[in-house]
Structure 1
Amino acid sequence: MGGEHPQAPAARPLRPLAPVSPTLYSRTMIGFLIKKAFFDTWDHLITVVVLNLGFLLSFAIPTVVPDWVSPLGLPVMTAVVVVGLVITFLYLGVLAMAAKEIAFYRTPSFGDLVSYLAHTWKGSLVFGGLTALAVLIPFFFFPFYASWGGAIGFIGMVILLWALIGWSLMSVWFYPLLCQIEPKVRKVLKKSFLLALDNPGLSILLILSTPVILFISIFTALLVPGPAGLMVWLQDALKLRMYKYEYLEAHPDADRKKIPWETLLIEERERVGKRTLKGMFFPWKE
């Protein structure tokens, strides 16, 4: 990334680089990311299910409760929806912190939920507001500019479209950066933009994988992998991506397009171990 790079919370010494051929992340880093996120979720399956139950309860407030209070009138229903969405996004921050613990090979403690909330509540409110704005753009702002017609209306819609695309690319990095690296919301937004700009391919992959993960979760009533599993996936993505910047910081003259992932991921591979789906379900055949 030109200019400012996201900084890891604590510098860890790089292992000596072995003489291996540089391998693009699309063939090495992504494959290991999928494996790590899967087994991180599997190893904390009960925790993931409980976290997802909490999310479903919070999400029920803006989606189910308004129907219950409908006899009280539209103002009450609107208030319930707004309060429910705030609670949902606040819980999403807690979920992200728990997922960060899992990504770093630690078991999240339910006794730490208050500290998780204290760390993320400001960021969660900003994220919720920007997400709400992004949702409103296609339904309200696009028709508004379309009604203008002519060049001004077209330019307005193009600007909004690029703003929507930009936020989509940034949004996948927001919570991982907030939890792992930078607690200040303004800096999180800046670094999310820089990270998305420097890693467009990975950012697009994370965006496209989000509906896929949630669709798969439908078959388990959103309990596995669910929102918690999605957060583990995003936290793992940033954790592994930071090895690139540690390497470039230690080797400023290196080719940015040829990162030796095989070497950089040695320690992570050792932590995850040589595990397979066959070994999970049929360990006696390994």
Structure 2
Amino acid sequence: MFGFFFKKNLCDVWDNIFYVVITNFFSLIVLFGAVMTFKYELFLDMNEAWRKPLFLATFTFFSILVCTVAFAGGENASSIARFNAPRYGNFFCGFLRGLKEGAMIGLFIGIVTTVAFVSIPFYFSMWKPADGSTGSLVWLGFIIVIFWFLFATFFALQWYMPVRVVMKNGFFKCLKKCYLLLLDNMGFTFSVAMVNFLNVLLTVVTFGLFPGMTGIMVTNMNAFRLRMYKYDWLEVNPDLTMEERKDVPWDALIAKDKKTLGPRPLKSFIFPWKE
């Protein structure tokens, strides 16, 4: 199934390259604003005790803006994943709809980041005091718990935008489903993260234009849509044993999608008019 996911995602992003590039300009504007703001704050003449809280507040603010742009393209990412064309009007109208969602998840990301930058150094200093004395292993335990929470949250948040756009549940219910999806699909979640890592590398090479944040959103939406086939199958087969539940008939579940996508040789990406 992963091979088909990778191929479909590549085709979807490439087939909508103009939409992807144009919408990525908005995320680039936000990122440029963030870089310039951090640069200004870095050289700002102020008490050092206030610099770190200012950085964290700025990070939270721009996280909200980035997430708002992401949700503005959420409906279009869902359309692309369903083999439909994106609409620019949906993207621009989506800014107002996405502001609330972006504010909530952006604030959550800011809080999690603040917890990481404040709690881990604090507990580390308690575990390894500056005076060279021996601290309690209890503090090391706190560090380990926080680390694994941050680790799980990083991967689970890949699912948030697709869950919210498709299922339209409340914030906390969506967040809960993200963690459940991670626990139930750990291998696939890590595989999607690797695809997104490749997306980030390609984004750096193309100076943020392709695939960029829009491409990453399409990747996450494709992953979620295909993964939902598994749960639809489980829902209509509630009497399966634990062993049978592990043997998901992916070939049958994605057969229609394979037929819709069709064969896509490399030549079709470079010379589409010859197909």
Match of 2:50 in 1: none
Spell out, residue by residue over 1:69-111, the C-alpha distance to the aligned partner (whole angstroms, 9 max, x if none): 9999769999876644432221122133332221122222222
Match of 2:70 in 1: 92
From the superposition, tell whether residues 30 and 221 of structure 1 become closer, same or farther in structure 2 (CA, over 3 Å): same
What displacement does 1:113 show?
A: 3.2
Which is bigger in relative contact order (C-alpha 8 A, separation at least 6)?
1
Write the letter of the residue equivalent to 2:34.
P
Question: Which one of the candidate residues 241, 249, 253 is aligned to 1:260?
Answer: 249
Question: Which one of the candidate residues 223, 235, 259 is aligned to 1:270?
Answer: 259
Match of 1:3 in 2: none
Match of 1:233 in 2: 219
Q: Which runs of 5+ in 1 are unaligned?
A: 1-28
2: CA distance, partners of 1:82 / 1:98: 25
Question: Do residues 250 (structure 1) and 236 (structure 2) align?
Answer: yes
Aligned-residue sequence identity (percent) comes to: 28
Question: Which one of the candidate residues 54, 57, 81 is aligned to 1:103?
Answer: 81
What displacement does 1:259 show?
A: 0.8
Match of 1:166 in 2: 152
Question: Do residues 153 (structure 1) and 153 (structure 2) align?
Answer: no
2: CA distance, partners of 1:48 / 1:93: 14
Match of 1:139 in 2: 117
Give the match's secondary structure for 1:205: helix
Spell out, residue by residue over 1:170-203, the C-alpha distance to the aligned partner (whole angstroms, 9 max, x if none): 1110111011112411110111111111111111
2: CA distance, partners of 1:226 / 1:196: 23
What displacement does 1:168 show?
A: 1.6
TM-score, normalised via structure 1 length? 0.80
Please report the RMSD computed on the Cα atoms of aligned residues, expressed in angstroms. Answer: 2.7
Q: Judge conservation of contact 2:199–2:216 (CA < 8 Å) in 1.
A: yes
1: CA distance, partners of 2:138 / 2:41: 43
1: CA distance, partners of 2:4 / 2:15: 16
From the superposition, tell whether residues 146 and 264 of structure 1 become closer, same or farther in structure 2 (CA, over 3 Å): same
Q: Judge conservation of contact 1:62–1:85 (CA < 8 Å) in 2.
A: no
What displacement does 1:264 show?
A: 0.8
Q: How many residues align?
A: 258
2: CA distance, partners of 1:72 / 1:200: 43
What displacement does 1:267 show?
A: 1.1
Match of 1:126 in 2: 104
Give the match's secondary structure for 1:256: helix
Give the match's secondary structure for 1:253: coil
TM-score, normalised via structure 2 length? 0.83
From the superposition, tell whether residues 248 and 77 of structure 1 become closer, same or farther in structure 2 (CA, over 3 Å): closer
Q: Judge conservation of contact 1:120–1:178 (CA < 8 Å) in 2.
A: no
Question: Which one of the candidate residues 49, 52, 57 is aligned to 2:21?
Answer: 49
Write the letter of the residue equivalent to 1:262.
D
Instruction: Give the helix-richer structure, 1 or 2.
Output: 2
Match of 1:64 in 2: 36
Give the match's secondary structure for 2:30: helix
Write the letter of the residue equivalent to 1:96.
G
Spell out, residue by residue over 1:31-63, the C-alpha distance to the aligned partner (whole angstroms, 9 max, x if none): 110111111111111000011111101222222
Match of 1:14 in 2: none
Q: Judge conservation of contact 2:14–2:269 (CA < 8 Å) in 1.
A: no
From the superposition, tell whether residues 71 and 162 of structure 1 become closer, same or farther in structure 2 (CA, over 3 Å): closer
Counterparts in 2 of 1:179-218, with a 5 A limit?
179-218=165-204
Write the letter of the residue equivalent to 2:139.
G
Match of 2:207 in 1: 221
Q: Judge conservation of contact 1:119–1:183 (CA < 8 Å) in 2.
A: no
2: CA distance, partners of 1:72 / 1:151: 39
Q: Judge conservation of contact 2:20–2:215 (CA < 8 Å) in 1.
A: yes
From the superposition, tell whether residues 144 and 210 of structure 1 become closer, same or farther in structure 2 (CA, over 3 Å): same
Spell out, residue by residue over 1:129-173, the C-alpha distance to the aligned partner (whole angstroms, 9 max, x if none): 232233344433211001112122111101101211221231110
What displacement does 1:269 show?
A: 1.1
From the superposition, tell whether residues 78 and 231 of structure 1 become closer, same or farther in structure 2 (CA, over 3 Å): closer
Write the letter of the residue equivalent to 1:264.
L
